Amino acid sequence: MTGRTALKFIADVLLWSAAAPLAFMLRLEDPWPRYAQAALIYTLGGLPIKMLLEASFGLHLQSWRRAGVRDLHSLMKAVFFGTVLLSALAFFLRPDQPIPRSVPLIEGGLALLLLGGARLAGRILFERAQLARSQPPHSGSRRVLIIGAGEAGTMLAREMLRHPESGLVPIGFLDDDPSKQRQRFVGLPVLGNIEDLPRVAPKARADEVLIAIPSAPGKVVRRVVELAQRTGLRHRIVPGIYEILSGKVAISQIRDVDVEDLLRRNPVQLDTSEIAGYLEGRVVLITGAGGSIGSEIVRQVARFRPRRILLLGRGENSLYQIERELDRTWPELDWRTIVADVRDHEKMQHVFATYAPKVVFHAAAHKHVPMMEANPDEAVFNNVGGTKNVVELALEHGVERFVNISTDKAVNPTSIMGASKRVAEYLVQWAAQRVGPGQAFVSVRFGNVLGSRGSVIPLFKEQIASGGPVTVTHREMTRYFMTIPEAAQLVLQAGGLGDNGAVYVLDMGEPVRIADLARDLIRLSGLEPGVDIEIVFTGIRPGEKLFEELLTAEEGTEASKHQQIFIARTSLADLDQHLELLSELFAAARSRDPKRIRAAFKRLVPTYTEVAPT
């Protein structure tokens, strides 16, 4: 025991012991000297009990300067047990005067006040000292107005007060909750609601606005950004709820507002018990584990205590990156990295035979639409042939849950990539008709994910950084967007629903115009569209649509148990006939003849149509 903890131990025992004579004084009008012997025997007799409970519950190890709700819970439990034991002690003791039965109860209440009050006083004194130390701010410090006086906002304010070396000085909050108006949190006032930002910021001499509402939808973030830009203030944000599932917010996580923040939706409510039911204690294989979606699925699966995760992919560099991340964030996790190509049936057979995965997330695929138009044979070999290998081996080796990652481009496809992913869905449905009890093979469709490799966001950022222009294919081009963490979480949830043969469709929200997205990115970079950076429309590329669809007109949807996941009413017509046509498709791919490949796709996917570029 260090000197500081020893002092806290002694202080706690003395304060708790002081509660005993105080209880006699409150219970009896004039306890002295009549009850002096009883009070002395009771107080001294209680000392060993209090010392034992102090050590057992680790009360002396609590930091008075940072005492919180959990510390209070420990304190309450210790005092409760102490009250029970002291009541027994009072019953068995036989001084000259009997000890009133209410004394131990009164003592318990007083002990809570004294011990809790000491911790509260320590925290108040510490935070006042921190606040005084941060006032006035040293050279270069920035006065921060925090948007959101909830848990994240107050936690960040407290962190700033504790760490004045960060150069951030909190000056107050803005919050739309009427119950928080004119209140103070961690010693700082709520100065108004969000719409008051242009009025409050100059009066408070704010240098910066910090959005500290992890669950805020995109429209709220957009409004704050607009108000901050109008006021000329720098604006930053804490990560969204998908990025901080642990619930902890730190100064190091503050970053500039990105376009993903403007497209935020309400947080997904996950049924974690349903997800854990099929992941916990299982060997999980994730193909394409180094890709944008695959690597995020790895991160999300790691939360549910799988027995082992198999990271399978072709790119050793991207696999190495996710390896390093797992080492850093999940050191206790058992994982294996497998450099392999899903097209290599012999290698994949070895993987299934060696590791016996019970859950498979199949994310390996070529996804770049124009590139697959130029190389249609590769789309066939990878997206169709690779899926066929993984599906057949999963069926052969008794995989319990198979989840195929599909795309909205598989609906009424106009591209080779979309058609190849539709055929991949057929393969999963074919396998679903042959599974045994306890198995489920499903596909999950969703639209574009923000920030994924090859998406428009990194391209636009690169063009803005080089001075423009930003290139958009068409003024009316729209797409559905979802953040990578949100998509991965819904994929895991869909896997937990377990409707064998289902094609799940994620609720992608409202479509977003690509031109509007480009304008948002330019403004977030501190520039003005059409003034600092031009937007140039280049024309639709081969295989692209103006509007993406998540469902075919003839399919429709049915509701699932989850409000953001739907089930496409797909036709399970003659899948065996589709498989016969597969041999024609592979033969066409081996010929390297684009026309022959497209013709084979049209026979397999009747809704596939070619769109001429404009």
pLDDT tens track for 499-509: 888 888 877 66
Query: To which residue do tokens 């057929």 refer?
Result: 426
Which are the contacts of 136, defined by CB distance < 8 A and separation ≥ 6?
none
Question: Looking at the predicted structure, is the pLDDT value of residue 377 above 60?
Answer: yes
Per-residue pLDDT, 456:
77
Phi, psi of 285 (to 5 degrees): -100, 130
Residue 552 pLDDT > 60, yes or no? no
Distance (Å, rounded) from C-alpha 581 to C-alpha 583? 5
CA 202 to chain centre: 35
Side-chain-side CA neighbours of 385 within 13 Å: the count stands at 20
- Name the pLDDT band for 312 (thresholds 50, 70, 90): very high
Closest to 11 in 3D by CA, of 69, 45, 68, 62: 62
pLDDT digits (tens, 9 = 90+) for 48-102: 999 999 999 988 888 887 777 788 889 999 999 999 999 888 888 766 667 888 8
362's tokens: 């199949």
CB 523 within 8 A of CB 455: no
Q: Does residue 554 carry a pLDDT above 60? A: no
Per-residue pLDDT, averaged over 469-493, amounts to 84
Q: Which of 101-105, 227-231, 457-461, 553-557 has the lowest mean pLDDT?
A: 553-557
CA-to-CA distance for 342 and 203, rounded, in angstroms? 62
Mean pLDDT, all residues of the chain: 84
Rounded to whole angstroms, the Cα distance separating 420 from 413 reads: 9
pLDDT at 144 over 50: yes
pLDDT at residue 1, rounded to an integer: 63
- 189 cis-preceded (ω within 30 degrees of 0): no
The answer for residues whose C-beta is within 8 angstroms of residue 558's C-beta and 6 or more apart is 566, 567, 569
Q: What pLDDT sits at residue 279?
A: 92
Average pLDDT score over residue span 337-342: 96
Asked if residue 358 lies in contact with residue 440, where contact means CB atoms within 8 angstroms, the answer is no
Confidence of residue 190 (pLDDT cuts 50, 70, 90): very high
Confidence of residue 244 (pLDDT cuts 50, 70, 90): very low
Higher per-residue pLDDT: 354 or 271: 354
Split at pLDDT 50, 70, 90, the class of 242 is: very low
Q: What is the pLDDT of residue 201?
A: 92
Q: Poorest-confidence range of 43-47, 339-343, 569-573, 602-606?
A: 569-573
Q: Is the pLDDT of residue 404 over 50?
A: yes
How far apart CA 289 and CA 291 sit, in angstroms, is 6
In one letter, which amino acid is 55? A
Higher pLDDT, residue 547 or 44: 44
CA 156 to chain centre: 18
Angstrom distance (rounded) from CA 491 to CA 359: 13
Which residue did the predictor score with more confidence, 488 or 131? 488
Rg for the chain, CA atoms, rounded: 32
Is the pLDDT assigned to residue 488 strictly greater than 70? yes
> pLDDT band at 569, cuts 50/70/90?
low
Q: Is the pLDDT of residue 322 over 90?
A: yes
Phi, psi (degrees; rounded to nearest 5) at 455: -80, 175
Q: What percent of the chain has pLDDT over 90?
A: 37
**What residues does 114 pair with on adjacent strands?**
none
C-alpha 333/C-alpha 306 separation (Å) is 8
245 CB neighbour count, 10 Å cutoff: 15
Tokens at 179, concatenated: 């119950």
375/246: higher pLDDT: 375
**Per-residue pLDDT, 133:** 56
Reported pTM: 0.65
Q: What is the pLDDT of residue 614?
A: 46
CA distances from residue 221 to 218, 228, 462, 576 in whole angstroms, order as listed: 5, 11, 23, 50
| Distance from C-alpha of 145 to C-alpha of 192, rounded to nearest angstrom | 11
The average pLDDT across 262-274 equals 67
Give the HSE-up count for residue 525: Cα atoms under 13 Å, Cβ half-sphere.
22
Q: Is 165 exposed, middle or buried (0-12, 13-18, 19+ CB in 10 A)?
A: exposed
Residue 457's closest CA among 440, 474, 482?
A: 482
> By C-alpha distance, which of 348, 303, 356 is closest to 326?
303
So what's the pLDDT on residue 571? 60
DSSP state of 384: I
Residue 553 has a pLDDT of 43
Residue bearing the bigger pLDDT, 358 or 167: 358
- Residue that is written with structure tokens 């510490």 in the block: 126
Higher pLDDT, 104 or 485: 104
Give 247's pLDDT tier (boundaries 50, 70, 90). Answer: very low
Q: Among 277, 158, 171, 148, which Cα is nearest to 221's?
A: 148
CA distance 406 to 491: 10
Read off the pLDDT band of 556 (50, 70, 90): low
CA dihedral 216, 232, 463, 239 (to 10 degrees): -30
Hey, what are 167's tokens? 């150069």
